[in-house]
C-alpha cells in the first residue's frame, strides 16, 4: 500500500514538472504536445494531474524529451517522495529557480569541495532536506494556484 502511494506521488510530481515545461513550450496544448511528441489528450491528462494510468517510465521519457534533468526521491512515507528538477539538459534553469533551490544547489557544490567523505554524506542529507523543503513549498504554491487560496490559509 505504501509503495503504491509513493509511486503515485512520484507520478504526480513528474507530471507537475512536465506540465510546467509544457506551458512554456507553446501557446496551446496542441503545440506543446507536438513538441513533446505525445498526443494532445495525453498532455491534457498530465497537465490536469490525471496520471494514475500512466507509467513512471512513460512520464520520464516525456521529461527527457522536454530536457528536464530530474532527481527522483523516495522515502519511508509516500509524502516524502518527489521529483526534483536539478536543471535543464538544454539551457540553464537556475535563473528562474527560487532562493531556496539556489541555496540547496550552492550547498551541494560547496560540500563537494571541502568535506571529507563522511562530511559529504552529512551534507548530502542536508541537501536532500533542503530539496524536500523546496518540494513542499512547490506543492503548497501549486495548491494555492489551483485552489485560488491565499498563502496564509494553507
Judge residue 6's burial from the number of C-beta atoms within 10 Å of its C-beta, 0-12 exposed, 13-18 middle, 19 or more buried: buried
Q: What is the CATH number of the domain that holds 37?
A: 1.10.260.40
Taking the model in full, what pTM does it have? Answer: 0.57
C-alpha distances in Å from residue 32, one per residue of 59, 143, 146: 15, 23, 21
How many beta carbons lie within 10 A of that of residue 138, not counting itself?
Answer: 20
In a domain, residue 35? The reply is yes
pLDDT score at 77:
81
Taking the CA atoms of residue 132, residue 138, residue 139 and residue 141 in that order, the dihedral angle to the nearest 10 degrees is 150
pLDDT score at 80:
79
In a domain, residue 144? The reply is no
Query: pLDDT per position in the chain (154 positions), as tens?
Result: 688 888 888 999 899 999 988 988 877 999 999 999 999 999 999 999 899 999 999 999 999 999 888 888 887 887 778 887 775 444 444 444 577 777 777 776 776 677 777 777 777 778 778 888 887 888 888 888 878 776 655 4
Q: In the structure grid, which three cell numbers stand for residue 115, read together?
A: 568535506
Q: In the structure grid, which three cell numbers stand for residue 140, read together?
A: 503548497
How many beta carbons lie within 10 A of that of residue 91, not counting itself?
Answer: 9
In a domain, residue 99? The reply is no
The count of domains in the chain is: 1
Q: In the structure grid, which three cell numbers stand for residue 154, read together?
A: 494553507
Amino acid at each position: 500500500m505504501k509503495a503504491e502511494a509513493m509511486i503515485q506521488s512520484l507520478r504526480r510530481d513528474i507530471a507537475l514538472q512536465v506540465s510546467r515545461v509544457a506551458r512554456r513550450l507553446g501557446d496551446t496544448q496542441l503545440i506543446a504536445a507536438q513538441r513533446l511528441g505525445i498526443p494532445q489528450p495525453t498532455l491534457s491528462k498530465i497537465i490536469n494531474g490525471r496520471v494514475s494510468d500512466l507509467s513512471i517510465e512513460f512520464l520520464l521519457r516525456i521529461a527527457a524529451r522536454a530536457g528536464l534533468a530530474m532527481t527522483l526521491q523516495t522515502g519511508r512515507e509516500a509524502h516524502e517522495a518527489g521529483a526534483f528538477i536539478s536543471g535543464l539538459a538544454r539551457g540553464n534553469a537556475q535563473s528562474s529557480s527560487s532562493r531556496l533551490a539556489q541555496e540547496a544547489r550552492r550547498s551541494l557544490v560547496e560540500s563537494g569541495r571541502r568535506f571529507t567523505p563522511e562530511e559529504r554524506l552529512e551534507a548530502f542529507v542536508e541537501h536532500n532536506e533542503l530539496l524536500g523543503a523546496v518540494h513542499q513549498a512547490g506543492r503548497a504554491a501549486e495548491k494555492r494556484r489551483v485552489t485560488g487560496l491565499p498563502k496564509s490559509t494553507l
